[in-house]
Amino acid sequence: MSDFATRPAAIAIMAGGRGRRMGRDKTAIVIDGATMLEHVVSAALATGRRVLVAGRARPDAWAIDTVEFIPDAVSGSGPLAGIVAALAYAASPIIVLAADMPLITTGAISWLMNLPVEPEARDGLVVMNGGRMEPLFAIYRPAALPLAEKLLAENRLALWALIESGDFMRVDAPDSIARLLRNINTPGELEEVVGDVSDKAQRA
């Protein structure tokens, strides 16, 4: 099989979180003129790949027609349920992203997309950020689906369990990529990122 054929054909954005620590739907928060979900979707679409949003219905005011919204495999079961749904739906290798990464860029996604995945890494590739796994900035192959379904059925929902149990390659993120992998979970983290975005806009 050619290297091109094993590259991700779709990007799946995990958007099923309820934002408990934020106190509201994180994906609908507007930063620099776009919601967090719109920002991640736009960065993903610019790669030219098919884009899926897992874990929620299409918002009423959603204006980007080319995005496909799919339900989680099991409602309320976190991103593992979204990965199961996306792998089954896409039937191809996928890049998985979090919906709450407002700093993510098309360049960062393209960097991940073009990483060569070793043949023995049959389940995919996970990026490491300062020694910490980034399971929502990773490549998942169809071979990972049976294991992911098994863990979901056992209610073992932590993504590290999937990665530790499977055959995943690990790649360290360079500093230029690592600084973009900011998840927003609390009002304090949101305030920090909004400040970062404003500073960059002023310098542009």
First-to-last alpha carbon distance for the chain, in angstroms, is 44
SS3 state of residue 149: helix
Residue 48 has what pLDDT? 95
Amino acid occupying residue 113:
M
Residues of the chain with pLDDT under 50: 1-5, 198-204
pLDDT one-digit tens code per residue, 49-93: 999 999 988 988 888 889 999 999 998 899 999 999 999 999 999
Q: Which domains does the chain have, with CATH numbers?
A: 4-203 (3.90.550.10)
Strand (E) positions, 71-163?
94-98, 124-129, 132-140
Q: What is the per-residue pLDDT for 203?
A: 44
